[in-house]
Chains A and B, each alone.
Chain A
Amino acid sequence: MKSMKMDKLTLFLIPIGVAVNFVGGQIAILLHLPLYLDAIGTIVVGALCGGLPGAIVGLISNVLNSITSPITMAYAILSILFGLVSAYASKKNVFKNLLKTMLISLLFAFIGGVMGACITWLISGGDFGPITAGSYAAIIYEFTKLPAFLCQVIAEFGMDLLDKFVTLVVVFFVLKSMPNRFLAKLPLGGIYATEEE
């Protein structure tokens, strides 16, 4: 009975998580930041509500992105993983400590960058993919003559590491600034709540 109620608020947070993913990207553009910042909603919902809601936010964001960019669909699994990993990290109290939060960005960048590069490689017939990271990979390839796949991995991981580092620092402060009365109603909110008058 109790958990069912909490799920209800979670349900209404999912569209907000999706919207925050989009708006995060839009603010990044407004501030001329060379970052995507388009997974904040997924990670925040994952951290506060659990793996499934986080994964759903990721999946829906991915589907909505595919409206204007159908190839994005191939990367859906990454968005889902962000939500799942976020919930796991949240349960392990990672997001309560800034240093740990910064370190976990490595894991997120691994998913986004290394696994992302594998997907790019697969859908591009074993060659550089038609995405921004592909051009960086090509530049690395030209200068280092390292294997092409490794270049794609380095390029995607590098771009993603910077992005996820900033994303997770933002997530840390968002979770910290969440009011208690609100946290009380969320499945994993108790992790971030503090007793007050």
Chain B
Amino acid sequence: MALIELQNVTYHYPYVKSAALQDISCTIEEGKFYGIIGENGGGKTSLCNLLRGLIPHFYQGKLEGKVTIAGTDVMEWDTGKLAAKIGYVFQNPFTQISGIKETVFEEIAMGLENLGVPKKEMVDEVLRVMKLLNIEELMEKNPNALSGGQRQRVAFASILAMNSDILVIDEPTSQLDPQGTQDVFEIIQMLKASGKTIILVEHKIDLIARYCDEVIVMQGGRIVKQGPTAEVLSSPELPELGAVAPQVSQFGHAMAAAGMPLDHIPITIEEAIELIQKQKGAAK
């Protein structure tokens, strides 16, 4: 089922002549995991803002085209309700800490307090997400005194605790080391398995390749390519569109250029190994 539908959307930020988004059309379906990639300034964050209704409600400016979220036109949504329906985690972990709570435990519980969740449930839910994100040892710490990476996990946990059906996640791993990044992706994978719709902006292309169902490529405020992950990421024109291709697909193209094409272009390392073994087997 189409959860979010964009039809020929063009958007200008206020007082800016050039459009931040141009003629965007796409459909976000329930339960799928979408990756948004592309060059910096290409409109990824603007697209996120559009998907969560911040455009046009918060940013004002000029919006043309049609945006429908869960069957209702975006202009008719109450922004408070919409914000709570669509969970949102973004890059800067510092602004995502409320600044009014003295412990990480209370910080994570804040969204639930705002929703009026009874205390016992609230406590159990906070404990659950802390365990999930492996931040139980931060429980009693002051959230305003944490490192960037710790804050990023706390911010993520705070949103997860609210259990929204749709999650828009804008570079959640910018402050994390490779292990932390891997962990976060596995959590996102689990969320997807539990039926949530996920829209992720991420530079780490190999992880996009491994986990996402569909990929959207943005360039110059336009969607220049979208479709199933394997199809988009194996496309040879990816570098021209300002996006980085996974190393193994670059390898696949190189093999083809060298006259030894693989069965198809791989996008993950496992897939590449499998294809090479198959080719070797065939050669023998």
Contacts and interface: CB of A to CB of B under 8 A. Distances in A.
Contacts of B16: 180-181, 196-197
Nearest to B17: A197
Contact of B15 (A5, A8, A195): A195
A181 B16 CA distance: 8
A97 to B, nearest CB: 21
A184 B61 contact: yes
Contacts of A193: 14-15
A195 to B, nearest CB: 6
B147 interface: no
A33 B57 CA distance: 44
A9 B57 CA distance: 12
Contacts of B14: 180-181, 184-185, 193
Interface of B is mostly: loop
A136 to B, nearest CB: 39
Nearest to B13: A181
A3 B253 CA distance: 54
A64 to B, nearest CB: 15
Nearest to A183: B15
B60 A196 contact: no
B58 A196 contact: no
Contacts of A181: 13-16
Interface string A138-163: 00000000000000000000000000
11 contacts: A2-B60, A5-B60, A181-B16, A183-B15, A184-B13, A184-B15, A185-B59, A193-B15, A195-B15, A195-B17, A197-B18
A194 interface: yes
B80 to A, nearest CB: 9
Contacts of B61: 184
B265 to A, nearest CB: 40
Contacts of B99: 15
A99 B56 CA distance: 38
B59 to A, nearest CB: 7
Contacts of A194: 15
